[in-house]
Amino acid sequence: MKINTMVKKYAAGLAFALGVLFWSGAVGAAVCSADISLDVIGDLSGSNSGCQVGTTNNDEGQVNLDNMFTYNDWIFAGRDNGLDGQEGTTSIPINLVLTGGTLAGTWSINSTIFSLYEMVMLVFKDGNGIPPNYVGYLFDIFDGTTGTYSSPFANSVNGNPKEISHVSVYVRGVGACPSGNCSPPVGEVPLPAGILLLISALGGLGFLARFRKAGAAA
């Protein structure tokens, strides 16, 4: 009787842990679809370090609530409304410059920004369309500080590209890459927390099976 009670309690704990693992992955920003993931790239890498779609139409006050790219410490650095020049100033020397138009063009930021911050996120917003929410593109020192962009938004009726309403810049990770080497050494790539939880849960299932077998033999 005691063995069965312990088994039930342990199984309930494992079920809760697995539920947390899979539920946590379904909340917050979503990974971009393939057709928009490379609409904004850096010249140095010819790519970006990630693309995610937020949970609302407007990024203002939202990127940290959405845990964009798993972080909630993003700092607003600047914005260009209508892609006609950066409005206002902040204490962060981001120097955002967009050349082209509201559908496509080139972007650049301060060439020394990665001596101050580890990551930069360019956030694109449209009034409505597909996707209906803002889109964030992640960059680090290996992607560069210049690149190209095209609108990640499409008209929901005819599929034609939609104009970008504004581009915002956010930064995080103070002084993490001044040496130009912010990647973990080969063989020491950290595992995401969710993977560690899954490994623990699978190990627990193995222990549970042995425990039941031992109880049956007794």
Statement to judge: residues 62 and 156 lie in one domain: yes
Report helix, strand or coil for 191: coil
What pLDDT score does 184 carry? 44
What pLDDT score does 15 carry? 39
182-208 pLDDT tens trace: 544 444 444 444 544 555 555 555 555
Statement to judge: residues 48 and 152 lie in one domain: yes
Domain that holds residue 77: 32-174
184 part of a folded domain: no
186 part of a folded domain: no
Q: What's the pTM?
A: 0.70
Statement to judge: residues 116 and 169 lie in one domain: yes
173-183 pLDDT tens trace: 976 544 444 54
Statement to judge: residues 154 and 199 lie in one domain: no
67 part of a folded domain: yes
CB neighbours (10 Å) of residue 160?
11
Integer Cα distance of 2 and 79 in angstroms? 63
